[in-house]
Amino acid sequence: MRAAQRFSVPLPALIAALLVCMLGACSQTAGGAAQAGFPGAEPPPQPTRIEADNEHHVIRFVVDGEIEALLDKEGFRVRHDLDYSGLMTDRANQDFEDRVLKQQGSDGDGRQ
């Protein structure tokens, strides 16, 4: 049996696509109830959406009502295939930590 390998995936296009999907899901649900004449009413969840669960510290990617991928501090897991056209690189954890510190700037909270 092959052992699972941990790796980092430099896929800025995937991240951008996920953000576009998340913004689209937010815009679809933000005004639907008010437009239907029920101010403050919660619309039903969309069958395809991204859920941020702050209680369990996980982001779920739901497609057609089924959870298809999970992202948490342990990694990114998908139910089916992962297709990519870029480079997958296995890097040491310190490389990730260095990138986080660089993005956070001098004050450590993400602002420059």
Three-state DSSP at 68 gives strand
Contacts of 111 (CB under 8 A, 6+ apart): 105
- What's the CA gap between 29 and 86, in Å, rounded? 33
Whether the per-residue pLDDT at 36 is higher than 60: the answer is no
What's the average model confidence in pLDDT over 84-107? 78
Per-residue b or e along 81-101, where b marks 16 or more CB atoms closer than 10 Å to that residue's CB: eeeeeeeeeeeeeeeeeeeee
Going by C-beta distance under 8 Å and a sequence separation of 6 or more, which residues neighbour residue 16? none
The larger pLDDT score, comparing residue 112 to residue 8, is at 8
What would the two tokens of residue 29 be? 């649900």
Confidence of residue 17 (pLDDT cuts 50, 70, 90): low
How far apart are the C-alpha atoms of 41 and 72, rounded to whole Å?
30
Highest mean pLDDT among 2-6, 16-20, 89-93, 107-111: 89-93
Buried b (16+ CB within 10 A) or exposed e, 49-66: bbeeeeeeeebbbbeeee
